[in-house]
Amino acid sequence: LEASMGWRESDGTTAHDQDWEIVLSQSFSDLVRGPARSEAALARLDADSRSLDDATRAVLLEVAAAWVERIALQRQRALAADSLDIASRTREAAERRFSAGDVAQLDVNVARMLHARAAAELATAEAALAESRARLGSLLGLEPDEPFEIAADLSLSGVALEADLEALVATRPDVRRLDAELAMVRAELRLASLGRTLDWGLVAAVAKDDGDRITTAGIRFALPLADRGQFERSEAGARLARLEHERASLVRSAIGEILAARDAYTRLRESAESMTTTLLPLLDENDALALESYDAGQIGIAEFAAVRRESIDAHHAFIAHWLDARLAGLRLRFVSGDLQ
């Protein structure tokens, strides 16, 4: 809608007439360009949504890893509590044997040192556990004293070990984001191509000119002689080529990541399972036999301390290995696009 008003001087000094004009026009080019413009806008919205999904996936990995590390710390705390219990029983056995005259004061001192060290390790494990709780609460945006639990399935069953990698990669949020951006650029390219079509519409006008009222109606055509959308098409074409290359590169690297993560997870999982079935039972048996042997006077305190230190180190090694296997499983789920 356009409106204008002015004055026509009749003699250049005094008398004048008021003229005005009102023009109403309506373009119909959006009947053709509107669907393409809507398609581009929806594709842009979808790309933004996929970017959010990709960012969320990274946060989920961080939270899941923190939760798995907390489980490992809980195991460390349980190990430290068991060690303190064994150290307490060892100290009692040493004091009893010293009272009976079976051992020297050195045994009692070493047993008390073992007890003090076990108590310190338990305090350290509890402090690390409290720190992990604070970190998890911070990642989840919770108040310091607000209780929480992780309801998501963090088990490693269902990890994609035998899958069509091409199809698997296509479901990753970062690949789907590029797919959405490609759809957006293709829609923009189609929209730019419509710049070569005529821009037409209807025009109606009412005017007063020199005392006469004039009414007109007609059809307006805008010929795309100089600007036919060629610059927009060139830009969209270049972006399309870049995104296609970026997607192909991402798919190749993603498949490589999945293969590497799958191999690492398989090896670590098998090793952790082997340690669970072979190492842990032996360690538990050795702990019981060592305490029983010392209490019966069959081994000295130095031998007992060596067995206990070896057992504790082996337990720590198992927990670290178990943690590596779980983190490798989470990494595999992450690169497979399954962590969501």
Query: With a cut of 50, which residues of the chain have pLDDT below it?
Result: 14, 158
Alpha carbon of residue 323 to chain centroid: 20
What pLDDT does 120 receive?
Answer: 96
Asked if 40 contacts 34 with a C-beta cutoff of 8 angstroms, the reply is no
What pLDDT does 314 receive?
Answer: 93
Encoded amino acid at 322, one letter: W
What pLDDT does 334 receive?
Answer: 87
What pLDDT does 16 receive?
Answer: 58
What pLDDT does 228 receive?
Answer: 59
25, 29, 33, 35: CA torsion to nearest 10: 70
At 168 the three-state DSSP class reads helix
- Residue from 205, 194, 272 nearest 236 by CA: 194
